[in-house]
Structure 1
């Protein structure tokens, strides 16, 4: 825009429009091209606007609409939302903006096709897949979106009230005019480690016990209404159970009756969580930690028991061996032929260890006498 003598020169490019005003009042709209306007008193002014996919100030539109409603209808498209209404504005077929309730936006329509899709969120609280694809979810704050996995349960809350349980998949809701929250609960078994805590047994011996519990959620709706934090609640409950169980047992009973202790703990916990929607599948003692001096005494007792058991086994073996020798001696005494065979067996073992043996039967004695007199286990009988 330039002034030359009594003329105002205005050049409007493609994709632009100029609002020509005289003394601040709108006269007309200048189309693309070069305009030479007679303005001897410098009363004219031209204001340039981009009109391709562009928005016009709503306040200026209100002024133009009041003064020139016909001109406003030719140039602009007005999108206005009411209470509980969402509008998705598309420019030339491309979704560009999402309008919340009680908003007014004005767009140039001389070079752009403007379409607005209105959604009543009171009758359609869910965001359809079509509308979800049209919105920019990274910056949109009027949509609550959640993905429920196959191993999860999704609970939909509207204004703090449980409405329904969501199936696995992607879910989106308009949160305009209300608070929407989706709670996801993992239905898979979870391990809860109960760390070591010091306690006294019935015989006043201090020890520490660590436990492991496996729990899973079987009724999500009941869990969220009964238990604020499942793991913390179960942790405290098991702590009370193990303290009560250990306090009523001696150290020997705790160490020797682990299976009975685990069964008692499971019964105690299951009886108290029966109506909570949580199931404890396994619960047991993982470690029993004794003080240093008590551990040394227990080790000595265990070592003494093992030594005594080894000595008992050794004595039993010696008794069995002696009994076997006695039975063999009785058999040999009652059966001379068996004794003779035993003598020959001893001779055979002896010969295996000697390189050379010279045998002399004596004068006038033959080989028969040699075999008879070689080994005698008892003296010859007197004639």
Structure 2
């Protein structure tokens, strides 16, 4: 016959505690060590839990606070922030948990020192520098944070209303019971590339125009309240302005008056940009893209113009050369000696180009001297004869 066991033994470590229950009803909390308890017919059970920097289920902590208030006061830190409050829980001076409004959490304070700091978020929307250093802002759902750079300005929007203009630096705000949004505006000039769009000119030729503009936000408040996307709005305004400027001109006028088009677009857009809190600086047409057949035709026109210009220059040079020859001939006519020198120059050039010269002066000739003497008859000698 097997004897019934009368006692049960439980071992609890230094970083543990045990909830001892009989028939499912809590009797006491077991401290570290070896415990022996009377247990007729296996009615005892022990739930061993870790207590160092540990959390206890809120429902269990609340139940024990009601049934065993002294035990709960000694071992548990129960945090219950109101609807406008949050609580920062620190273990041994190190922030670990942020308890949200209208929630309950409980932590063991048996071994660990638990500090609770309750913050009333309705009295001050801004998260203090001290609290920012304690919290992980990126993982906190009840805080909106942003860093405003030196070239930016920030606007604080609370429940859709502009509340404050933020200086450069790090900013964080509680979102408990409210909607908080930080809108940043870049104050540096931003290039705005208006891509090619096909437009019909006055003479019904379809061209595509690309344009570059530089936009700068000068009034962040007006910019944010006027439109959700300043660059997008100005982009469409520039498209409309360039369309109007191109449609009122022929292709030849467009190619000849790009500066005028730039000024028209700038005037049109600048007036409307000021209403958006922005300023438009330089605007310039980058490219005018023509259809293939029109581009080919213009290339032929340009080529023909160049050929005509080249022919004109060649004829001018021929005329100048002929006039020079005429003047030279008149000088030679009145100066036999100059004519003789020109003959000798021609003969010198001829001799340079040939390797051998055979002279046949005929019967009664006197050789090379006779050739040089009789090659050209000087006017003066002819008259003397």
- The 5 A counterparts of 1:1-383 are 5-20=5-20, 27-38=27-38, 46-356=46-356, 372-376=373-377, 380-382=381-383, 383=385
Contact 2:87-2:118 at 8 Å conserved across structures = yes
**Secondary structure of the residue that 2:302 maps to in structure 1?**
helix
Superposed CA offset, 1:100-156 (max 9, x none): 123333222221111112333334433345433433445321222223344433332
1:244 deviation in Å? 1.6
Partners of 2:4 and 2:40 within 8 A in 1: no
**Residues 287, 332 of structure 1: alpha-carbon distance in 2 compared, 3 angstrom cutoff:** same
Q: How many residues align?
A: 381
Residues of 2 paired with 1:274 and 1:184: CA distance?
A: 19
CA offsets, 1:187-207, max 9 Å, x none? 343333333333332223333
Cα distance, 1:39 vs structure 2: 5.5
Structure 1, residues 36-63: CA drift from partner, whole Å, max 9, x if none?
A: 3346697766544432222233333334
Query: CA, structure 1 residues 25+284, in 2 after alignment: closer, same or farther (shift >3 Å)?
Result: same
Residues 83-102 of structure 1 show CA distances to partners (whole Å, capped at 9, x for unaligned) of 42221111223322111123
Distance 1:379 1:259 in 2: 71
TM-score (norm 1): 0.84
Contact 1:192–1:215 under 8 Å retained in 2: yes
Contact 1:58 1:106 in 2 (8 A): yes
* Contact kept in structure 2, 1:125 and 1:173, CA below 8 Å: yes
TM (norm. structure 2) is 0.84
List alignment gaps of at least 5 residues for structure 2: none
C-alpha separation between the residues in 2 aligned to 1:23 and 1:365? 161
* Equivalent residues of 1:361, 1:367 under 8 A apart: no
User: Counterparts of 1:86 and 1:255 in 2: how far apart (Å)?
Assistant: 67
Mapped to 2, the partners of 1:139 and 1:364 lie a distance apart of 123
- Contact 2:156/2:183, CA 8 A, preserved across alignment: yes
